[in-house]
Amino acid sequence: MIGVFDSGSGGLTILNALKKQLPNQKFLYLGDHGHAPYGHRSNEQIVALTRLGVDHLMHEGCSLVILACNTAAAIALRTLQQEWLPTEHPEKRVLGVLVPMVEAITNVPWAQQSPASHPEDNKQNKQRVLLFATSKTIESGAYVEEIAKRAPHVELVQKACPGLVDAIEGGAGTAPLQGLINGYISELDMYGIETAVLGCTHFPLVEKLFKAALPDTVKLYSQADIVASSLKNYLERHPEFISADTPSTTLLTSGDPRIVDRVSKRLGVNEQSFIMYQ
User: pLDDT (tens digit, 9 = 90+) per residue, 114-161?
Assistant: 654 544 554 557 899 999 999 999 999 999 999 998 999 999 999 999
Q: Which of 200, 214, 224, 252 is catalytic?
A: 200
Residue 173 and residue 66 share a domain? no
How many other C-beta atoms lie within 10 A of the C-beta of residue 258?
Answer: 11
Residue 185 and residue 236 share a domain? no
Q: Of the residues 204, 223, 242, which one is the last residue of a structural domain?
A: 223
User: What are the tens digits of pLDDT across the range 227-264?
Assistant: 999 999 999 999 999 987 899 999 999 999 999 998 88
Residue 229 and residue 219 share a domain? no
Residue 54 and residue 113 share a domain? no
Please tell me the total count of domains within the chain: 2
Residue 253 and residue 167 share a domain? no
Residue 270's SS3 state is: coil
User: What are the tens digits of pLDDT across the range 27-79?
Assistant: 999 999 999 889 889 999 999 999 999 999 999 999 999 999 999 999 999 99
How far is residue 148 CA from its own chain's centroid? 20
Spatial strand order in the sheet of 193-198: 154-160, 127-133, 193-198, 219-221
Q: Which of 47, 65, 67, 69 is catalytic?
A: 69
Per the prediction, the chain carries an average pLDDT of 91
Task: Provide the pLDDT for residue 112.
Answer: 72
Instruction: Supply the range of the domain harboring residue 78.
Output: 2-96+224-276
State yes or no: is 62 an active-site residue. no
Residue 120 and residue 20 share a domain? no
Residue 247 and residue 170 share a domain? no
Task: Provide the pLDDT for residue 116.
Answer: 47
Residue 234 and residue 260 share a domain? yes
Spatial strand order in the sheet of 2-6: 93-96, 64-67, 2-6, 26-31, 248-253, 275-276
- Rounded Cα distance between 177 and 182, Å, is 9
Residue 75 and residue 172 share a domain? no
| Residue 148: CATH number of its domain | 3.40.50.1860
Task: Provide the pLDDT for residue 169.
Answer: 86
Task: Provide the pLDDT for residue 265.
Answer: 85
Mean local confidence (pLDDT), 85-102: 96
Side chain identity, residue 30: L
- Give the C-alpha distances (Å, rounded to integers) separating 138 from 42, 55, 96: 14, 26, 16
- Compute φ and ψ for 271, nearest 5 degrees: -115, -10
Residue 135 and residue 70 share a domain? no
Is residue 24 pLDDT above 80, yes or no?
yes
Question: Roughly how many angstroms between the first and final C-alpha of the chain, as a whole number?
Answer: 20
Residue 228 and residue 205 share a domain? no
Task: Provide the pLDDT for residue 119.
Answer: 47
Cα–Cα–Cα angle for 100, 16, 178, nearest 5°?
85
Residue 196: exposed, middle, or buried by beta-carbon count in 10 A (0-12, 13-18, 19+)? buried
Cis ω on the peptide bond leading into residue 119 (within 30° of 0)? no
Residue 136 and residue 59 share a domain? no
User: What are the tens digits of pLDDT across the range 156-212?
Assistant: 999 999 999 999 988 899 999 999 999 999 999 999 999 999 999 889 989 999 999
Is residue 216 pLDDT above 60, yes or no?
yes
